[in-house]
Amino acid sequence: MDWHLIVFEVIDMRSFSNLWFWIALAVMWSSASHWVLGVPFDMVGRARKHGGQSEIDLEDMVRINVNRILFIASEAGSVVLALGFFVVTSLAVLGFYYWVEMAQAVFFLLFPMSIVGLLSVSTAQRIRDEGAQGDALCKRLSRQRVATQIIGMISIFVTSLWGMYQNLSSSFLAM
């Protein structure tokens, strides 16, 4: 038996009927809502509840990650943005013009996450401009998390609808 036949049997290339795609989608959005600007959100709760050293640790970690995000955005931002647009547009064309289901699935993963990425850069810039600390910093991070969760809920809903449509239409075509 050929190796590529074995790979295609193990990994179902029909993405929306594949359990691994849905697990990856759930893990991606769970991780995105837990790690706000690269900071685990439990640190925000601990800083609000206990203050003191927990708040100092949160401020230090946010400062480090905000500086890192804004450095990358200023140094390579236009290249990353252009490459991101190219990849997302290529996936959209392959997926919805040429009907490549794998491209559709990856598009449904990357497009909303790119919106979260742009929102993260914007939030990082606001934190730096405001010099947010303490409660103001916790509120800004909480708003970022809620926005990420809303984008994630919409993304999961739309992806589910499209996946059900794809699975139903392919099952009718098989008849």
Most confident segment among 101-105, 132-136, 149-153: 149-153
Question: Is the pLDDT score of 2 beyond 80?
Answer: no
Name the band, by pLDDT with cuts 50, 70 and 90, for residue 51. Answer: confident
Per-residue pLDDT averaged across 49-62, rounded? 94
Condensed to tens digits (0 to 9), the pLDDT of residues 9-29 reads 655 557 888 888 999 999 999
Higher pLDDT, 46 or 172: 46
Show the 3-state SS of the chain.
Answer: CCHHHHHHHHCCCCHHHCHHHHHHHHHHHHHHHHEECCEEHHHHHHHHHHCHHHHHHHHHHHHHHHHHHHHHHHHHHHHHHHHHHHHHHHHHHHHHCCCCHHHHHHHHHHHHHHHHHHHHHHHHHHHHHHCCCHHHHHHHHHHHHHHHHHHHHHHHHHHHHHHHHHHHHHHHHHC
Per-residue pLDDT averaged across 31-38, rounded? 96
pTM of the model: 0.88
